[in-house]
Amino acid sequence: MVISKQYRAPHLYELAFAFPPQGRWRAHAFGAILKELGQLDKSRRDFLDIGCGAGVLSKMIALNNPRSNIKAIDSSPYMVQYARKFHGHPSLDYVAQSFWDETGTYDMVTAAYCWHFFPLRSAAEKLKSILRPKACALIVATRETPLTRIHRRLFHIFSNETLSLYSPEELCESLEEKGFCVEWRGVDRSEGSYLVVARLP
């Protein structure tokens, strides 16, 4: 697997979030996920955080759900190594692996800023396969805006990879086709980010 340049340098990757607007965008996205999780009771659950990156959100989830087990995965071993060093927690297990290689089953799945790497329908099918009955997934994604179109072009120039900026309607439809009950809400208008809540019956 080829790892994009920015995911080989976690310190520089994290530095970008020290400045607006990216820092504000990420804070709003992570805040939306944590707010949704805050409505749950604190009973023990098995979590999977997909595309954990530097581990910032993963550790927030661990701190807010002390009785749960959290597995956090990322395809970049550089990011996982950084996450273990700077955002470790006793209930957190960071693993360098692809979403497609996941074989466990979970009560809750979180995914922030990674769905644009996945083909929609294949990702929905894979997600369903790792969720237990009545389980839930929280996905933060971004739709097309003038800013995200610029970001997509720059990302392609520096990484030679293509990002797919799905609309919330497209993402929700792909999940509904697999039997999920879905709702979505906006997170940050300037970024075009939104939160999808997908539940299995």
Number of domains in the chain: 1
Say what the pTM is. 0.93
* 146 lies in some domain: yes
**Are the CB atoms for 12 and 54 separated by under 8 Å?**
no
How distant, in Å, are the alpha carbons of 60, 119, 201 from that of 170? 29, 11, 21
The answer to whether residue 112 sits within a structural domain is yes
Q: Is residue 165 part of a domain?
A: yes
- Strands 193-199 and 131-142 turn out to be antiparallel
Would you say residue 113 has pLDDT above 50? yes
- Of the candidate ranges 4-13, 83-92, 135-144, the one whose mean pLDDT is the lowest: 4-13
Asked if the bond preceding 90 is cis, omega within 30° of 0, the reply is no
Domain containing residue 135: CATH number = 3.40.50.150
- The answer to which of 5-14, 44-53, 151-160 has the lowest mean pLDDT is 151-160
Residues 6+ apart with CB under 8 A from 22: 16
Asked if residue 195 is part of any domain, the answer here is: yes
pLDDT at 1: 43
Flag whether 38 is in a domain: no
Residue 74 lies in a domain: yes
Give the model's confidence band at 6: pLDDT under 50 very low, under 70 low, under 90 confident, else very high. low
Q: Is residue 72 part of a domain?
A: yes
Q: Is residue 108 part of a domain?
A: yes
Structural domain boundaries, residue 91? 5-33+43-199
- 14-58: pLDDT as tens digits: 888 888 888 999 999 999 999 999 998 888 999 999 999 999 999
